[in-house]
Amino acid sequence: MGRTEVQLLAKQLGNKGRIAILSATPNATNQNTWIEFMKDELSKPEYKDMELVKVAYGNDDDQKSFTETQGLLRSYPDLAGIISPTTVGIAAAARYLSDSPYKGKVKLTGLGTPNQLRKFVKDGTIEAFELWNPADLGYLASYAAAALASGQITGAEGETFKAGKLGEYPVGAKGEVLLGKPTVFDRSNIDDFDF
C-alpha cells in the first residue's frame, strides 16, 4: 500500500513537488508500516524531485485530521500533494481542500471508500485514490480458509492454492496470503462500486 500510494501521487504530480503524509496515530502499526514503505519508495531515483516534508497525525479523528490538513497547507504553502492512508484522514482532508483555494492544485490520495469519496472525485478535489476491493478480499480469504481446512495447504511459506476466478496464490512468510495491488478509484470507475 505504501509503495502504490506514492506511485499514484507521483503520477498525478509528474514526479515533482513537496508532499506530506496525513496518517492516523503515531503508534498505528499498519500506518507506520505503510509509511516506511512510502519513504523507501520515495528514495528511488525516479522520485528525486519529490520531497516528503512532514508526517502529520490526525489521530483518526475527523476534526483533528481537518485541522492538521489546514496546518500542513499553512506551514507549506507550496505543498503539491498529500497522502492519507486512513479513511478518516482522507475524507477530512478532502473536505478541507474542496472548500479552499487549494482545490485542484494540491493533489490528495490515500485510502478511502468509493461511497465516502465519490463527491470529491466528481468535483475534482481528488483525482484518484485506492483501497483493496472487499469483495475480492473476502473471496480470497474464503478460498484460503477452505484450502487450509481441507488440507490442501498447511500455511507453510511457498505453498500455493487456487482461488477460483482470482487464480493461483502463494502462501507467504508467516502464513500470509496477499490479495495484490489495491483497486484504484477515479472518475472512470467510481460509480461501479457501492461500499
Q: What is the DSSP string of 111-180?
A: B--HHHHHHHHHTTS-SEEEE--HHHHHHHHHHHHHHHHTTS--S-TT-EEE-GGG-EEE--GGG-----
Mean pLDDT over all residues of the chain?
96
What pLDDT was estimated at residue 135? 87
Which one, of 35, 22, 16, lies nearest residue 80 by Cα? 16
Residue 24 has pLDDT above 90, yes or no: yes
pLDDT value of position 133: 84
Q: Which residue has the cell 489546514?
A: 70
Q: Is residue 91 pLDDT above 90, yes or no?
A: yes
| Residue carrying the nine cell digits 523507501 | 40
Q: Per-residue pLDDT averaged across 61-70, rounded?
A: 98
Cα four-point dihedral sign 157, 182, 41, 21: negative
pLDDT in tens, 136-163: 999 999 999 999 999 999 999 999 999 9
Is 108 a residue whose pLDDT tops 90?
A: yes
Helix-, strand-, coil-residue percentages of the chain, each rounded to 5 = 45, 20, 35
Closest C-alpha among 88, 132, 130, 95 to residue 109: 130
